[in-house]
Homo-oligomer: A and B are copies of this chain.
């Protein structure tokens, strides 16, 4: 039994026993990530049962670590007073994240009760998935004209818990000029000007997408990314732990979108909610499946005359779908990591068409032999082989084009790529197989 399973069993036992006092004590004794793990795995009622008795301080610590679904359940159960108290105890960026999750109808009410409401209103205006949406306002900055001894004084004023890893150097207009480390400030000559010590740093603009920020941090091995406005004024700082969360979130999105989900789910969503969130995409899929069925319907005569065509329908369509999904997953990941650009399109198209031809040929030869021996018609073998080659080429072509076009029109390429692609490979595959059968064999 793992540690997580052990604490889960203990909590379940205490809930069943109804021993709320011991439950509260036991839950409070756990580390924050373990508390978050437990709440994620409990039912809606149980989530509230363990969360509600906690003191404000414990609630405040726990809230930024909760999964989205548990947070939603807990926010619903908290009244505006308690929400604003918790928001007041949080760092301002975390308070903004919390308030952004509050239901529309009472968000203004909560913001009205919060201390730093102007700041929070300003930050709420940025999209939650932008650089400004994930930055913290807790950072230290000093004018570059100041000298090291001034900086040392400033540093000693900072409370111990808020140990800053970087101190940002600004010019007289508040524009970011670079950074120094506390270590450097403590070991440099006191009369030295800070601007002479400042080292260059990469910054991002407030409206940049969080995924792009994470890619920059990853490429340049940054532990903090300062956020500036269009004039270069320092607005806030994104820390690496928040960027790690962003990477996790973006990868989850890509995986689940590619898997045909319209909105992100955790495994522990209640069934009714999963049903509601999955159904729309299944209906869209149904439309495209019916389109493929329509193509089959147009060739009823072919199938009636030559039953073998019906047997190889799933092979031709399915293999095209598989080959196209291979291309698609490489493209979607390449776009997400910023490795693939529009300038690469021509080269990638030719490459994937080439690979499509090669795999289509390799799969086609084997399948056409099987079709020949199964149905006793060499001509039908050729038809099946040709249909496979054509469908693999279409798969390569559209495996590149679909994600690039979606990206171009501003849709996450992971989002609907699979649906469009399998529509193409189903429809085109059936057309190729049944059309060629009709043209060559009838």
Contacts and interface: CB of A to CB of B under 8 A. Distances in A.
A217 B244 CA distance: 9
B343 A5 contact: yes
Interface string A290-303: 10110011001001
B256 A255 contact: no
A163 to B, nearest CB: 6
A182 interface: yes
Contact of A244 (B247, B266, B282, B333): B247
Contact of A267 (B36, B241, B339, B422): B339
A238 interface: no
A317 B187 CA distance: 69
A322 B355 contact: no
Number of identical monomers bound together in the oligomeric complex = 2
A237 to B, nearest CB: 15
Interface residues of A, number: 109
Interface in A339-358: 339-341, 343-344, 348, 351, 354-355, 358
Given A2-B341, A261-B326, A355-B274, A334 B267 contact: yes
Given A256-B329, A256-B330, A279-B362, 11 more contacts: A33-B219, A252-B333, A267-B334, A275-B358, A281-B322, A282-B319, A289-B315, A289-B318, A297-B311, A314-B430, A318-B426
Interface of A: 2, 4-5, 8, 31, 33, 36-37, 40-41, 67, 156, 163, 165, 181-183, 186-187, 217-221, 223, 240-241, 243-245, 247-248, 251-252, 254-256, 258-261, 265-268, 270-272, 274-275, 278-279, 281-283, 285-286, 289-290, 292-293, 296-297, 300, 303-304, 307, 310-315, 317-319, 322-323, 325-326, 328-334, 337, 339-341, 343-344, 348, 351, 354-355, 358-359, 362-363, 366-367, 370, 374, 418, 422, 426, 430
Q: Kindly list the 3 A-B residue pairs having the minimum CB-CB distance in the complex, ordered from nearest.
A: A259-B329, A251-B251, A267-B334
